[in-house]
Structures are given as C-alpha cells and as structure tokens.
Structure 1
Amino acid sequence: MVNSDQFSKRLQKVMDEYDLNATSFADEIDVGRSSISHILSGRNKPSLEFVMKIIAAFPEVELYWLLNGKGSFPKKSAETTSAPIKNTTQLQADFDLITHDDVKSKNNIPHDDSYRETEKNDQIERIVIFYKDGTFKNFVP
C-alpha cells in the first residue's frame, strides 16, 4: 500500500528537481491541476494512471522509488531508459536478414588455448533489454 503522505513528499521532490509548480507539473503529465493539489494535500491517493503518467513524462523517476521510497532519484547514471522504439518493423526486417548460414559460420571459431584466454579477459560493454511495448533499458557496468 502506498503511503499517501510519503508519496506526496516524493512527488514534491520530483517537482522541485524540475523546478515545476503544481500547475506546470499537471500540464507536463497531462492531468487536471486539481489532481496535483489533492494528492499533495493528502486528500486523494494517486491512481495507477497518474503514476504511469509521471513515469512516462520523467524517465529519470524510478517507479519503485516513487511508490515506496526505495531506490534512487534521479536514476543512477549507469542505467538509462530510452524513449519507445519507433520502427520495430525495420528492426525485425534487419534481424530477419541474418540467415542460418551466417550464424553457423560465426560459430566455427577455433577452440584453442589462445581463444579461451581471450574469452576469459573479455569484459561486458553494455547490456540492452528490449521489452514488448517497444521500450528498452541500457545497462552500462
């Protein structure tokens, strides 16, 4: 259960971070101005739609932090979330260009000791996770 008082403090922190008053914040997330006022005063609890609008408008806000106060705000620089991918059809077409023979030829890597040593020393540059809704997260160690 979300603590309304603590939620309103975190909401105020988001507004302060972006130097927004209640009116401009309401305009930014496309909600009624009274909604912000009622939530900040503790009169109303935030709806799921309200919370998701904040997350969509301000990607630096972590959902878990906003709801429970656990995590960080703004998000740590190692993790960035991008806007939704606009052209997933093109990505699929590019992926489909890779044939079975291409994959098979790349797997014909010699397995001698020098290769294994190189493999052990390789470091991960980044990890990208793609979601079905078209968004993705980019993790950099």
Structure 2
Amino acid sequence: MVNIDDFVKRLEIILDYYALNASSFADKIGVQRSSMSHLLSGRNKPSLDFVMKIMEVFPDVDLYWILNGKGSFPKNNDEVVEMTKTPAPISSDENISGGDLFSAINYREVEKPATRISSEIKNQNLSSEESEIVKIVIFYKNGTFKAYNP
C-alpha cells in the first residue's frame, strides 16, 4: 500500500529536482492542475495512470522509489542486470516418444551466439551537433550487461 504522505514528499522532491511548480508539472505530464493540487494536499490518492505518466515523461524516476521509497532518485542505471536464457523446444527428431498431440513438450536451454565486436570502429561522420549519445550498453560473455546513461 502506498503511503500518501510519503508519496507527496517524493513528488515534491521530483518537483524540486526539475525546478517545476505544481501547475507546470501537471501540464508536462498531461493531467489536470486540480488533480495535482488534490494529490499534493493529500485529498486524493495517485492513480496508476498518474504514476505511469510520471514514468513516461521523467525517465529518471524509479517506479519503486516513487511508490514506496525503495531505490533511488534519480534512477541509477549503472546496475548489473542478469539476462535470462530462453528455453527452446527440442526438435521433433530428438524426442520421439510416441506421445500424442497433448503430450508435454520438453525444453532445453539454448545459448544465443555471442555478437562479435569489430576490431575497427568505423567513423560514421557523426558530429556532436547531429547526434547525442543516449545510452551505452556493454554485454559480457557471462550473460550480464551494464547500461550507462551519460
């Protein structure tokens, strides 16, 4: 359950961080100014739609942080995330047991081939005015990766 008083405090932290007042914040996320006022006064509870609009417009806001205070703000994207392997069905010639159409399908782990990195990085003639780096992702052989937002 979301504690309304704590949610309002975290919402005020977001307003301070982005140097916005309540009405400009409401305009930015596309909600009525009165609903923002009712939230800040503690009269209303935040709806799922309200929280999702915050997440869409402000990517630095962590969902768990805004809802229950766990995590960090601004969001820390330098965490290592474990990638899971997807099971692939065993081909029909590998597991023929004479079962019918309703028999269980056996799965085995299939490791995806690693992407090879070219030893030469080709100059794509991109100047800093034309493009801006949004995210850098480094993939490791053990199935983990790190994402950096400059």
Taking the TM superposition and a 5 Å limit, the aligned residue runs for 1:1-141 are 1-78=1-78, 126-127=138-139, 139-140=147-148
- Counterpart CA distance in 2 for 1:48 and 1:77 is 23
For structure 2, the 5+ residue unaligned runs are 80-111, 116-136, 140-144
Cα RMSD (Å): 2.7
Letter in 1 for 2:49: E
Residues 110-132 of structure 1: CA distance to partner in whole angstroms, max 9, x if unpaired?
Answer: xxxxxxxxxxxxxxx624xxxxx
Letter in 2 for 1:43: R
Aligned residues: 90
**Aligned-pair CA distance for 1:77:** 4.7
Moved segments of 4+, more than 3 Å: none
Higher helix share: 1
**Aligned-pair CA distance for 1:34:** 0.7
**Aligned-pair CA distance for 1:76:** 1.6
- Counterpart CA distance in 1 for 2:146 and 2:67 is 23
Higher strand share: 2
For structure 1, the 5+ residue unaligned runs are 80-102, 107-124, 128-136
Contact 2:77 2:147 (8 Å CA) reproduced? no
- Counterpart CA distance in 2 for 1:19 and 1:138 is 30
Describe the shift of the 1:138–1:45 C-alpha distance in structure 2 as closer, same or farther (beyond 3 A).
farther
Larger radius of gyration: 2
